[in-house]
Amino acid sequence: MTIADVILNATKRLEAARIQSARFDVELLLCRAMGRDRAWLLAHRTDALNEDLRTTLEQYVNRRARREPLQYIIGIQEFWGLKFTVTRDMLIPRPETELIIDTVLRNVADKRKPLRIVDLCTGSGCIAVSLASELPAAQVIATDTSLKALAVARENAGNHGMVSRIHFIEGDLFTPLEHLDIHGSVDIIVSNPPYVPLGDFDTLQPEVRDYEPTCALLAGTEGTEVHGRIIGAAPRFLNRSGTLIMEMGLGQAATLARMIKDNGQYGTPDLLKDLAGIDRVIMAHRL
């Protein structure tokens, strides 16, 4: 069978499993199996594919047909133009989270200025690594409750030459930072925390509900519980005029803006929309 034949057959399998991006997924899975890129596949579509590679692809396709995310199968996700290793121990980095990076960069007047940044719920480390790559004088502290996620985050930092710039610490939000002498000295706190309400869990896509870690998804009955903890604790760590930037879920903007206002230690928050026009990031400066 040729590469084109194999792609066609595998695409039909994924289409039957209601995978909307069936052909694209098959091509990436075959690239993974062969160690090639999509341009090479196109140029060699009439080449024969040996049995070992067909078997490997079939195994990958079977996993994808069960709605396992493509990124977990191939082990890679691109974020902010960088490639990140991902496993089932962490959320898959999403394009809308890049708005956090964009927001930070638009609010840093001098990118060469030394900055202290804290990244809470770092997961794969995509936010921490991306910010370190863009801000060469910044030092980043990244926390997460998952030791397995932190191990991958360190690997990602190493892959992009950022090991000396990012300090990864295991623990819940600010708890592991309490013993550090950084109170009142942090310039920027960023986070993509859990924000799915418990009642919405069953409505999530199978790729999310059945495969991504629930501890990184579910926040509580309202979905804003983790945000509330961050809003309450952040002023102790932020310097004067320091900035808090968080991702949020659909319909949570008003609640979080009210939390920030009621806290009394922040200025009026700014809401930033993603490419779909949804309020996705909230930013507030410490008074």
- CATH code where residue 121 lies: 3.40.50.150
Phi, psi of 34 (to 5 degrees): -95, -15
What is the C-alpha to C-alpha distance for residues 56 and 3, in angstroms, rounded to an integer?
13
Mean per-residue pLDDT, 143-153: 98
124 and 244 housed in the same domain: yes
- Could you tell me the two tokens for 166? 């990012």
Yes or no: say if 112 and 106 are a contact pair by the CB < 8 Å rule: no
Mean per-residue pLDDT, 56-62: 98
How far is C-alpha 110 from the geometric centre of its chain's CA atoms?
Answer: 26
49 belongs to a structural domain: yes
CATH number of the domain that 38 lies in? 1.10.8
168 and 57 housed in the same domain: no
Q: Which of 31, 66, 101 is the last residue of a domain?
A: 66
134 and 266 housed in the same domain: yes
What is the C-alpha to C-alpha distance for residues 79 and 254, in angstroms, rounded to an integer?
28
Residue 103 has pLDDT above 90, yes or no: yes
Q: Which of 51, 66, 81 is the last residue of a domain?
A: 66
Give residue 15's domain range.
3-66
72 belongs to a structural domain: no
44 belongs to a structural domain: yes
195 and 274 housed in the same domain: yes
243 belongs to a structural domain: yes
43 belongs to a structural domain: yes
What is the C-alpha to C-alpha distance for residues 272 and 282, in angstroms, rounded to an integer?
6
140 and 49 housed in the same domain: no
pLDDT category of residue 284 using cuts at 50, 70 and 90: very high
Burial of 254 (0-12, 13-18, 19+ CB in 10 A): exposed
Please give the tally of structural domains in the chain.
2
263 and 124 housed in the same domain: yes
Residue 157 has pLDDT above 90, yes or no: yes
79 belongs to a structural domain: no
Tell me which amino acid residue 114 is: P
Mean per-residue pLDDT, 242-253: 97
Q: Which of 35, 66, 97 is the last residue of a domain?
A: 66
Widest Cα–Cα separation across the chain: 67
237 belongs to a structural domain: yes
Taking the CA of residue 84 as centre, how many other CA atoms within 13 Å lie in the half-sphere pointing to its CB? Answer: 32
Mean per-residue pLDDT, 253-265: 98
Q: CB count, 10 Å around CB of 161?
A: 11
Percentage above 70 pLDDT, the chain: 100
59 and 109 housed in the same domain: no
84 belongs to a structural domain: no
Summarised one tens digit per residue, pLDDT across range 7-29 is: 999 999 999 999 999 999 999 99
- Could you tell me the two tokens for 76? 């890679």
pTM comes to 0.95
- The pLDDT, as a whole number, for residue 241 is 87
